[in-house]
Amino acid sequence: MAEATSPIIELKDIDVTFKEADRTVKAVKDVNLQVNKGDIYGIVGYSGAGKSTLVRVINQLQRQSKGTVTVSGQNLGNLSGKNLRQARTKIGMIFQHFNLMNERTIGDNVLFPLLLGSKLTRKEKQAKVDELLDLVGLADKKNDYPAQLSGGQKQRVAIARALANDPEILISDEATSALDPKTTGAILELLKHLNETLGLTVVLITHEMQAVKAICNKVAVMQSGEIIERGDLLTIFSNPTEQLTKEFIETSSQIDSALANVVEQATVQNLGAGEQLVVLSYAGDSTEAPLIAQLYEKFHVTPNILFGNVEILQNTPVGTLGLVLSGVGDAVETALAYVAQQGVHVRRINVAEYRAELARKAAANNEEATV
C-alpha cells in the first residue's frame, strides 16, 4: 500500500438534491469525507444509497447543492470551463459498462484523452499508449477492437484510458460488477498494483464487501444518502457497529451460514446454566490458540469449538471463532470479560432469539419472492 497521509480529497457538508416536477430527491445528505493520498477507499452501499452521486461530486460531473469539494488543495466548486476540465484530467474514472468506443481500436480508445489538450507530440502519445497498454497487460491488443475482447480485458482498456493523463485519483464506479469472480479478482489486483506502483489514490464504489475486503484500506458505508459508518478496514471488519455494516460483512463471510447451521443442533438449543454460545472476532497477531488455553487455565471454562475462520486483510489475520463456553457459576461471564479486555470482540448469541430472527428473515424473503 502506498503511504497514506495527507488529504487529497476533502468533501465538506455535501448535499445533493435533485428537484423533479413532482418530487425532490435528496441523494446525498450532509456528507463529510476525507480521502488521503495513497488510500484505496471503499464506499459500499445498496443500490440507490447515493454512492454514484457522491463520487460524481468529486470530479464535479455532479455539482453539489451545498458544501465544498477540495481536491489536491483546490476548491473545485470555484472552477468552470477550461480550469475545471484541467482539474478533471487529474481524476480518472472507470465504470461498470466500460464505456469504450466500439468503432475505434484499443490503441485509439486509450489515445483519445490525449487528443484533448495534451502537450505531448504525436510520437510521445503513441509511446504513452504503448506504455499504458503494457501496464494493464494488453500490449498485444493495440490493433484489436473492443468487440474482440472479454469483459475483463475491456475493463483493462478502460483503466489504461483513465490513466492517460497521469491522474492522481482513480474513481471506480462498480467497475467489477459485470465481471465474474475470477476476473473481478484480477481487476482488483490491478488496481492495487497501480496504487502501489504509481501511488494512485483509488475511490472504489461497490455493493460488494468482498471487493472492499480484497484491496481497500478504508471503508465508508452509505445508506439513504448518508455515510453511516466509516473507518479503516480492520477496525470496521473486526468491530462493526451499524446493522447495515454487519449485514455487508456477513454476506462477505461464511459466519452467518455457519451460525445458522449451529443453532439447529439440539445440543446448542438446549444449553444449560453456565453455558453460552459466543462468536469471538479478533484482528491482529493474537491467535485463538493461547486464548482458548487461558479460558481453561484461568477460569476453568471449557470451550467447545463449533466453527472457525481466519482471513488475511491488509496483511493482518482477522479471525472468527464460534464456541460454546461452559463453566461453573458466572465463570463464563468472567472469562468473556477477560477475553474482551484482550481486544477480542465478543458476540453473545441468544439461540432462541437468533432462530426467531432467521425465521423472520426467511418469511420476509418468501413474501418478497411471491410479490
Ligand X SMILES: Nc1ncnc2c1ncn2[C@@H]1O[C@H](COP(=O)(O)OP(=O)(O)OP(=O)(O)O)[C@@H](O)[C@H]1O
Q: Give the three cell numbers for residue 267.
A: 445440543
52 binds ligand X (CB under 6 A): yes
CB closer to ligand X, 53 vs 109: 53
Rule CB under 6 A: is residue 44 a binding residue for ligand X? no
Q: In what order do the strands lie in the sheet with 66-71?
A: 24-36, 7-19, 66-71, 74-75
Q: Is 7 in the site for ligand X (CB under 6 A)?
A: no
Closer by beta carbon to ligand X, 163 or else 179: 179
Among 1, 25, 79, 234, binds ligand X (CB under 6 A): 25
Residue 328 gets which letter from DSSP?
S
In one letter, which amino acid is 244? L
Question: Any contact of residue 178 with ligand X (CB under 6 A)?
Answer: no
**Interface pick for ligand X out of 7, 48, 151, 274 (rule CB under 6 A):** 48
CA 209, 214, 219 angle in degrees (round to 5)?
55
Using CB under 6 A, pick the residue from 47, 102, 270, 341 that binds ligand X: 47
Helices marked H in the chain: 51-58, 81-88, 106-115, 122-135, 151-162, 181-198, 209-215, 233-238, 243-251, 255-262, 266-269, 288-299, 331-341, 351-370
Taking the complex as a whole, the smallest distance from the CB of residue 209 to ligand X amounts, in Å, to: 14
Q: Which is nearer to ligand X, 170 or 221 (CB)?
A: 221
Torsion sign over Cα 184, 187, 39, 98: negative
User: Closer CB to ligand X, residue 44 or residue 292?
Assistant: 44
In the bound state with ligand X, the residue whose beta carbon lies nearer, of 25 and 271, is: 25
Among 27, 132, 262, 324, binds ligand X (CB under 6 A): 27
Spatial separation of the C-alpha atoms in residues 249 and 255, rounded to whole Å: 9
Nearer to ligand X, 142 or 218 (CB): 218
* 51: contact with ligand X by CB under 6 A: yes
Q: Least CB distance from residue 92 to ligand X, whole Å?
A: 18
Q: Is 33 in the site for ligand X (CB under 6 A)?
A: no
CB of 235 to ligand X, least distance (A): 23
Q: Which stretch binds ligand X (CB under 6 A): 43-51, 257-265, 320-328, 356-364?
A: 43-51
Nearer to ligand X, 226 or 275 (CB): 226
Biggest CA-to-CA distance, the chain: 81
Grid coordinates standing for 306?
A: 463449533
Q: Which is nearer to ligand X, 18 or 296 (CB)?
A: 18
Query: On the CB side of 46, how many CA atoms lie within 13 Å of its CA?
Result: 7
* CB-based burial, 213-227: b 16+ in 10 Å, e otherwise: bbbbbbbbbbbebbb
CA distance 93 to 95: 7
| The binder of ligand X chosen from 8, 49, 188, 351 (CB under 6 A) | 49
Please give the residues from 332 up to 361 whose contact with ligand X meets the rule CB under 6 A.
none
Residues 6+ apart with CB under 8 A from 270: none
Interface residue list for ligand X (CB under 6 A): 18, 20, 25, 27, 45, 47-53
